[in-house]
Amino acid sequence: MIIGITGSFGAGKGAVVDFLTKTKNFQHYSASGFITEEIERRKMDVNRDNMIVVANKLRNSFGPSHIIDSLYNRAKEKGGDVVIESLRAVAEVRRIKELGGVVLGIDAEPEIRFQRSMLRNSAKDDVSYEKWLSQEKTESNQNDLSKQNIFGALEESDHIITNNSTIKELHTKVNEFLKQYSQ
C-alpha cells in the first residue's frame, strides 16, 4: 500500500506517520526531508522560506512530480507498505494516485495547528502567529499545479481527517481510514 500524506502546517501529519510506522510497519519517506537534504547540499539555512524556494526550483527543473518520484524510487528498493509524507503540490497528490496510492489529508483549526507547531521546536517554525499564517498563504499557489499549494493538495486528498482532538482519536480515525482504503 502507498499512502501519501498532505495537510496544513501542524495538523498532525507526523503523528499519523509515527502511528503508521510504529504500529502498521509502513516504511516512511519524507518530502520535507528530501528537500532539507537538498537545502543542506546547497549550504543554505534550513527554514520554511528556503524549503518553499528549493522545492519549487526542484519541481521547475525536474518536473512537478520529481520529489515524489525520487522518494517512490527509494521506496521500491525496500518494498512493503509505504507512507510518503508532506505532499505540498497538487501535482504531487495526483502522482501518488497515478502510482496506485491513496492520499490522506490532515487538517485542524489554525490556532491548534500553530500551538502544535511551536511545541515541535523546529527552526522552520520559529515565527510569530501572523508570520506563520502568512507562510501558509505563501504555500498556496493556486495557478500552478507544480508549485506548493497545501490547501489545493488537501482538497485533492482521497480522505481528510480533521485532527482537533486527542492523539487517541487521531489513531482511531487513521484505523478507520485504513479499513476503508486497504485492499
Query: Where are the strands (E) in 18-138, listed by range?
Result: 27-30, 82-87, 102-107
- The pLDDT value recorded for residue 183 is 64
Q: Give the 3-state DSSP-derived string for 5-43, with helices as H, strands as E and coil as C.
A: EEECCCCCHHHHHHHHHHHCCCEEEEHHHHHHHHHHHCC
Residue 146 gets which letter from DSSP? T
CB contact burial 125-143 (16+ within 10 A = b; e otherwise): bebeeeebeebbeebebee
Tens digit of pLDDT for each residue in 42-81?
A: 999 998 789 888 998 999 999 999 999 999 999 998 889 9
Tens digit of pLDDT for each residue in 2-48?
A: 999 999 988 999 999 999 999 999 999 999 999 999 999 999 999 87
- The pLDDT value recorded for residue 43 is 97
pLDDT confidence bin for 118, thresholds 50/70/90? confident
Q: Share the mean pLDDT of the chain.
A: 91
User: Which domains are present in the chain?
Assistant: 2-181 (3.40.50.300)
Tens digit of pLDDT for each residue in 159-178?
A: 999 999 999 999 999 999 99
More confident residue, 105 or 56: 105
Return all residues near 176 (Cβ < 8 A) that are at least 6 apart: none
